[in-house]
Structure 1
Amino acid sequence: MSHVSSQSPHGQTPLHTVQVLGGGSAGSSVHVRSLTAGLAARGVRVTVCAPDEAALVYDFAGAGARHVPVPRSGDPASVAALRTACADADLVHAHGLHAALRATLALTGRGTPLVVTWHHHTRAEGARARLVRLLERRVARAAAVVLGTSSDLVDQARSRGARDARLAAVALPGPRRAPAAGGPRAGDEEPDRLLHKSRAELGAVDRPLVMAVGALERGGGQDLLLDATRAWRHLDPVPLLVVAGEGPERAAMLRRIEAERLPVRLIGRRDDIPDLLAAADIAVLPGGREARSVLAQEALHARVPLVAAVTGGLVELVGDAAELVPADDAGALGTAVARLLADPARRAQLRDRGTAQAATWPTEDETVTQVLSVYDELTQPLPCT
């Protein structure tokens, strides 16, 4: 194993890394914040180039980084701002295809090593799919190392011409307040009171609570989720689906919910997702592009049974610790939720399997150690021969 160092190639000043975020998806943003905190704690100087809205939500400065606002757009001004921010970097680490493309442009003509992490799959068809493949090839070939958050993303990077592609260790940051095995202990009234408070706030005291979290945008599976609720409208009491998140599809979803009288509540962006999730009977993941879904990880850590559509690296992430259904099949998704609500033994089995599966995931410390070892490889001077 290579020696992990926070020194620059000349051993005089701390290593300076620039972390570049594009749209700031939940998975990549959470990872960058966790990585920033770990790197800063080990003496690395970190600059995060990200849109202002991502910095506001994830507080990179609070994790020890200097934040440089760089808009999501790929216009020349955005690339120029990134080029200036990277001027004295020892290494640049870009997260996602769009961030990596801008970093590639900003580093043109410089010898600064570029590391790219691919966090999710890009869905595209026709001419746009061909363009995405071209961009992926350009980024993969420009990077010194491509880290994929699932095995299929590593394979994709290699197929696009990456010189060095590896499986990334990506941890879900704590704190995690999972309920004790078997539920709250006798006399442990505070967690029970908090769970009741959360359910009361959401309107699910006397009915099952199904929880979903995600951006309300095209391709996020939200229409599929609304379709799936039809499978449990006949149940008594009718389960309530609560969706946390914001996005451009919110208005359209509200129109559907009202017009079709669906048992769904949209509660917007929340910063208490672990508490809300812990109060749920079931978590549901209708799809999405992230290889390491934040919701899936939160659900298993919180011992909440998960029903999920199979996409990307999900099976690799959750193993047999979730109820899996085919992608883009609203009927199967809704039926699986209804069946699981009626099967307490299966829910208990999934809770235990979830705990075991989560224990196999890398820790934050292991994630930082892996990333620093990659940085070390790329920035340490070659030994004299």
Structure 2
Amino acid sequence: MARILIIDDERSIRNTLKDILEYEKHEVEIAATGEEGLEHLRNNGFDLVFLDVKMPGLDGIEVLQEATRTHPEMPVVMISGHGNIDTAVDAIKKGAFDFLEKPLDLNRILVTVRNATDKCKLLQETRMLRKQLSPTYEMVGNSVAINQVKEFIQKVAATDARVLITGSNGTGKELVARQLHELSSRAASHFVEVNCAAIPSELIESELFGHEKGAFTTAIKQRKGKFEQADGGTIFLDEIGDMSLSAQAKVLRVLQENKITRVGGDKDIDVSVRVIAATNKNLLNEIEAGNFREDLYHRLSVIVIKVPSLNERTEDIPLLVNHFLTQLCTELGVARKNISVEAMAELQEHQWRGNIRELKNVVERLIILSGPEISLADVKMFATASFG
């Protein structure tokens, strides 16, 4: 069964298509205008859209362009009573899955639905296979604390809800953001990361929104910003608590209007971007101190995911250590090393101020400096430099 949206200004076409598809056990919504159709797309998820070419207001080609921009993997089938080769070619070039002429043929409709839904299933299977073959962003651990985070991700990823990820440095906030993107309908599009703490305040607006040629002394050519680069995908604003108030105001506008303006420009540019932010700061304290906008905080924190520190999930340390041993030995080109029970217990007893990042660095040091098996003596001798 598929969720299908029909957008057509002719009531008879809408109702006929709806009856046919519901008889085939599909779930169907209808819209009489392009504007109404886009509203349905913003608020609901669909597997397939039937879209009329000629409609009052927004025509089908305009709706098609917006739909394929915001839902790049969703098949859109164009239908028209004035079909010609040029119109069909134009629609296909702009992202349509197929083009049907009125009066609609029952068999052709059913074949098109089957082909479109098969394509969706294939894309989903391909995405899952890609994740299995590329475990770069695998979330390792079975503790209660990390399983709660995994459950949040599973519930939230399929939506376009904005997410604020909190937690100390080194806990894996970027990993959570990557998982949210990879499990979303935007996974085929870009994941663009911005480290707000690493960009000077005078450059952050150009970095985020781009600039026009001549906007400032070194702007020798037009440049797209991170929001434009992430159009159709996800932007991850890491360490957003370090963003300047001026840039915060402009990010707020993007969240409210889905538009950006390049530095030195006066043209509004539409963007469809899922925003995920992260911080190691207490933003409520930053609001009290006048360093962070309260209205932006509420826009960003539709869903808040707190990533636990490593000290809150010490039962995951053996899994993490063995994961890093396999990964790092492969990267370093050495035989996979084992670790003794006593050495593992010593690592579990440590207070990890640097969290998983610190643990990974320690494991790499032990691989390089220890013998074939990492012993308790190795941990005490070679890991203490990190422990302080």
Q: Same fold (TM over 0.5)?
A: no
Which structure has the highest helix share of the two? Answer: 2
| TM-score between both structures, scaled by the size of structure 2 | 0.30
| TM-score between both structures, scaled by the size of structure 1 | 0.30
